[in-house]
């Protein structure tokens, strides 16, 4: 079998490409995510295999559809356990769209509340806007020292498709020695959380795999952190 691809690192030396698993639990644009991550320079595999998902350099958790259905699909294939174990060991995870939403404590859809993975406090709620879903291109406001958005311009746009979002960030960092999560915002009717960077856990409400050059740069930035 062929070995891992090689690519030039910042100093020009050749290093093995990072291995990324796009977790296949039945909800998400796995093929689009696979192609985008591969273009960003990683070796990519779509799988729900426990060992491969646990041992990859990076794990991508996509998601489309309803919060409750995604949570059900994830737990049925032990995805909740995999995410928790990876993060406990400091191993990177990237959630996309509903794959980001389920990282929060709960989601409310049609008046029904569903428990999420609770990696962060907060509730995914209906967007407060005249036009829903929020579908199309929008700008974001990211922290100046963000690693995900490094090299990107404030005018760069990302592609969103969603009717629900976290609109209140409630996590407080008590220990001053700990780096506070970096929260990126966007606005559709009202401000909502567009991305989070928190140690090994990163997530975007938008679809980087559908966001052209800006999304490609963000995925490259994430892969470089692995």
pLDDT in tens, the chain (226 residues): 445 555 555 555 557 899 999 999 999 999 999 999 999 999 999 999 999 999 999 999 999 999 999 999 999 999 999 999 999 999 999 999 999 999 999 999 999 999 999 999 999 999 999 999 999 999 999 999 999 999 999 999 999 999 999 999 998 776 666 788 999 999 999 999 999 999 999 999 999 999 999 999 999 999 999 9
Per the annotation, the verdict on 76 as an active-site residue is no
Question: Could you give the maximum distance between any two Cα atoms of the chain, in Å?
Answer: 55
Query: Hey, what are 147's tokens?
Result: 């690693």
State yes or no: is 70 an active-site residue: no
What's the predicted TM-score (pTM) here? 0.92
- Catalytic-labelled residue, pool 34, 70, 97, 197: 97
Class level of CATH domain 6-224: alpha beta
Active-site residue 97, yes or no? Answer: yes
Check 34, 119, 197, 209 and give the catalytic one: 209
Catalytic residue among 134, 162, 188, 207: 207
Domain ranges in the chain are: 6-224
């Amino acid at each position: 079998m062929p070995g891992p691809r090689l690519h030039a690192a910042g100093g020009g030396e050749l290093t093995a490409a990072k291995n990324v698993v796009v977790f296949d639990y039945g909800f998400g644009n796995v093929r689009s995510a696979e192609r985008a991550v591969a273009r960003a320079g990683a070796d990519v595999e779509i799988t729900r295999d426990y060992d491969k998902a646990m041992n990859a350099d990076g794990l991508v958790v996509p998601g489309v559809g309803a919060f409750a259905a995604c949570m059900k699909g994830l737990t049925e294939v032990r995805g909740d356990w995999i995410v928790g174990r990876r993060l406990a060991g400091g191993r990177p995870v990237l959630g996309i769209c509903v794959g980001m939403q389920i990282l929060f404590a709960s989601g409310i859809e049609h008046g029904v509340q569903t428990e999420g993975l609770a990696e962060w406090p907060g509730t995914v709620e209906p967007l407060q806007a005249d036009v829903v879903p929020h579908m199309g291109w929008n700008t974001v406001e990211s922290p100046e020292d963000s690693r995900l958005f490094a090299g990107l311009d404030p005018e760069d746009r990302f592609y969103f498709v969603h009717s629900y979002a976290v609109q209140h960030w409630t996590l407080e960092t008590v220990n001053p020695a700990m780096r506070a999560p970096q929260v990126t915002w966007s606005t559709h009717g009202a401000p909502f959380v567009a991305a989070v960077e928190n140690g090994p856990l990163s997530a975007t409400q938008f679809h980087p795999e559908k966001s052209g050059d800006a999304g490609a740069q963000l995925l490259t930035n994430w892969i470089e952190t692995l």
